[in-house]
Amino acid sequence: MKRREFLTTSLAVAAAGFAPRSSRAADGLVEILVNEPVGEIAPDLHGHFTEHLGGVIYDGIWVGEDSKIPNVNGVRKELIDHMRHLKAPVVRWPGGCFADSYNWRDGIGPRDKRPTNTNFWANDRPLWKAPDGPQKFETNTFGTAEFMRFCHLCGSEPYLAANLRGLTPADYDGWVEYCNSPAGSTTLAKIRAGDGSADPYNVTYWGIGNESWGCAVEFRRWISWVPTYGLKMRYIASGPGMAADNAGEEWTRGLFQELNAKDRRFLNRIYGLSLHYYCWTAGKGDSLDFNVDDWYQVLLQSDLMDSLLARQWVVAGEFDPEHKVKFVVDEWGAWHRGKPIDPRYLFSYVPSMRDALVTGITLDIFNRHAEKLAMCNCAQLINCIHSPFIAMEEHFAATPIFHVFDMYKAHQGGQSLRVVASAPPISFRGPSEPERRRPTPPANDEERSFWGLAGSASLHGKNLVVTVVNPHASEQRTADVSLRGASARSARVTVLAETDIHAHNDFDHPHAVEPKEEPANVSGSSFAWTFKPASVTKLEIELV
C-alpha cells in the first residue's frame, strides 16, 4: 500500500498500539523530520496563570497557616506537590483584569494591617448571590510576599502584571523596588524583610498592563526609567485578544508602528508581546453536558491558535524583521459554563476529556511554533477556566488537563522538529457564523471539517518525544509513523484515552481519568501505531 493512501476505518485493526508495519494498512501518517529543527521549546511554554478571581487564590492556592487543610506556610500542599511534579516553570499573577485594578501596596506589610477593598470581579452577578468573601471583597491576605512564597515552593519563576490602568509609572517603579532592591537598601526593602524576605526576589518578568487595549503608547512611558538593580528586565507589552473572527493584527500593527515611530530601539526593549486566546462553543456551552458536534467545535476553535500565531508573526515581521520580539501567550484555554466547583468560585467548572484534547492540541501548536514563543500561560491554574486543578476545603483533584501537561513536560527544553501528520478529515455540524461570545448560540447548521491526526516532536540528544492527538470521538486511527533521518531502538508509550468523551475527575472520583502506559515493541525508521479514539498519546523514542 502507498504511504499516503488512506483506507476507510473499517480496515483499521481492532487492537490499539503497536503492530509491525507490514502486517497492517495505515489510514494515517505521522512523519517526523529529524533534520528539520524549528527552534528550542522554552520550558516557559508550560507556564500558568493565577488571578484574584473566584476560588483561584482563596482557597485554591492560599488556605492560611492555621488551616486544617495540609499546607506549607499557608499554601495548599497538594497543589505545591503537583506543581513540582509538573516542573511548572513560571506563574503569572495577580491577573488578568484584576491586575489593572490592583494596588500592590495593599498587599504588603503585616497582614492584619492590610486593607480590605472591592474586588474587580465583584460586579459579576453570580458573585452577588454568593456569600461575602475575597471573591467580592479582597482582604489582601495574599499579596506579593505570599505569591513569591508560592512560586518558591513550586520551583516556579514569578511573572508580575503591573496596573497600567489605575497606577502610575512611579507606582510601578515602587513595586520593582519592593521586589528587587538589595537587602536593607530602601524602606521598601525593609518592609519586604518584615514580610519574610530580606533578600530581593529578583523578579524579571513584568507585564505592562493586561488587555490594555488603547494604552499602547503608555508602554514606552512605563519602561523608560525603571530601576533595574543590575537585572535584565523582561518586559511584556500588552497585545491583542485574538478571536476566531479577528486575529487582532491591527492592534499589533498599531503598537509596533507607534513604538517604532519614536525610536526603533524601543522594540529591542520588549521581551514579549502578550497574546490572549480563549476557545469555546458559541454561547459558551456546558463543560460536561455537550454533544459530539460541540466536542469537535471546541477542538476546531482551539486549533485556530495555529493560524492566529502565524498571522501575528507576519505583522510583527513588518516592523521587526529579525523577530527579536517573541510572543507571550499569557492567557489561553477553553472557556465553558458549568456547575461551579463551589458557588463562590466565579468561572469555575469541572473540565473533561474535551479540555484534555484542547490542551494537547494547543501544546502541540506551541511546539510547532517554538521559534516564535517565549512563554505561554494556561488560564487559570485552579478552580477557574481550563484548570489543571480543582479544590474546595480539604478536597483536591488533578483534572485531565493536568495529565496532558504532565505528559508533555518531556518536551521542555527540547529541539522542536517539523512534523507532518495526516489522516482522513472528520465531518461534523457546526455554526456557520463566527463563534463569538453571545447569549444565544447560532444553530449548528453547516457541515464543518476537522483534521484527523496532528502532533509535534522534540529531540533531546538521543531521545525523541512525539505527541499525537486523535480527535475522533469514536474511531481509532492507525498511522504509519516515519522517522526521517533517524531510527528507533525502543519506545515507551503513554496514552490518555477514554471511551466517554465526557469523562472527568472530581472530588468523588479524583483518579477516574489517568494516562496509562502501553506496551510498545518499536524499532527501525518506520512502524505503525494505532491511536485510540479521543486520545492524547506520547511516544518517547530512544534513537539508535
Which residues in this chain contact ligand AHR in the complex, by CB under 6 A?
51, 95-97, 210-211, 331, 379-380, 385
DSSP designation for 101: G
**Residue 531: HSE in the Cβ half-sphere, 13 Å Cα cutoff:** 30
Closest by Cα among 526, 461, 529 to 492: 529
- For residue 162, which phi and psi values (nearest 5 degrees)? -85, 150
Smallest gap from Cβ 378 to ligand AHR, in A, equals 10
d(CA 352, CA 387): 10
Name the residue whose CB lies closest to ligand AHR: 96
- Least spacing, CB of residue 47 vs ligand AHR, in Å: 14
Residue 294 phi/psi, 5-degree rounding, is -65, -40
The answer for residues whose C-beta is within 8 angstroms of residue 495's C-beta and 6 or more apart is 16, 515, 516, 517, 518, 532, 535, 536, 537, 538
Q: Which is nearer to ligand AHR, 38 or 379 (CB)?
A: 379
Q: Could you give the CA distance from residue 58 to residue 240 in angstroms, rounded to a whole number?
A: 29
CB of 234 to ligand AHR, least distance (A): 19
Q: Which is nearer to ligand AHR, 107 or 239 (CB)?
A: 239
CB 486 within 8 A of CB 525: yes
Q: Which lies closer to ligand AHR via its Cβ, residue 56 or residue 130?
A: 56
Minimum distance of ligand AHR from residue 211's CB (angstroms): 5
Nearer to ligand AHR by Cβ, of 211 and 364: the residue is 211
CA dihedral 504, 510, 513, 518 (to 10 degrees): 170
> Is the CB of 348 or the CB of 535 nearer to ligand AHR?
348
Which residues have CB under 8 Å from 394's CB, separation 6+?
68, 69, 70
- Lookup: cell for 100: 489593572
Residue 85 or 438: the one with the smaller Cβ distance to ligand AHR is 438
Q: How far is the CB of 53 from ligand AHR (least distance, A)?
A: 6
Least distance (Å) from ligand AHR to the CB of residue 441? 20
**In angstroms, rounded to a whole number, what is the distance separating the alpha carbons of residues 33 and 37?**
8
C-beta closer to ligand AHR: residue 95 or 158: 95
Nearest to 59 by CA among 142, 178, 162: 142
Max Cα separation, the chain?
75
User: Rounded to the nearest whole angstrom, what is the least distance from the CB of residue 397 to ligand AHR in the complex?
Assistant: 21
Cell of residue 162, nine digits: 503591573
CB nearer to ligand AHR: give 32 or 53.
53
**In the complex with ligand AHR, which residue's Cβ is closer, 434 or 485?**
434
CA distances from 134 to 59, 91, 345, 346 (A): 10, 21, 10, 11
Q: How far is the CB of 346 from ligand AHR (least distance, A)?
A: 9
The three-class DSSP label of residue 159 is strand
CB of 242 to ligand AHR, least distance (A): 12
**What are the backbone angles phi and psi of residue 215, rounded to the nearest 5°?**
-110, 30
Smallest distance, ligand AHR to C-beta of residue 93, A? 12
Q: Which residue lies nearer to ligand AHR by CB, 45 or 379?
A: 379
Helix 249-262 / helix 292-319 crossing angle, nearest 10 deg: 20
Q: DSSP characters for 363-403?
A: HHHHHHTGGGEEEEEEE-SBSSTT-SEEEETTEEEE-HHHH
In the chain, the amino acid numbered 69 is: I
How far apart are alpha carbons 96 and 301 in whole angstroms? 22
Which residue number, 243 or 459, has a Cβ lying nearer to ligand AHR?
A: 243
Smallest distance, Å, CB 308 to ligand AHR? 16
State the nearest-atom distance from the C-beta of 43 to ligand AHR, in Å: 22
Q: Closer CB to ligand AHR, residue 119 or residue 467?
A: 119
Distance of CA 81 to the CA centre of its chain: 19
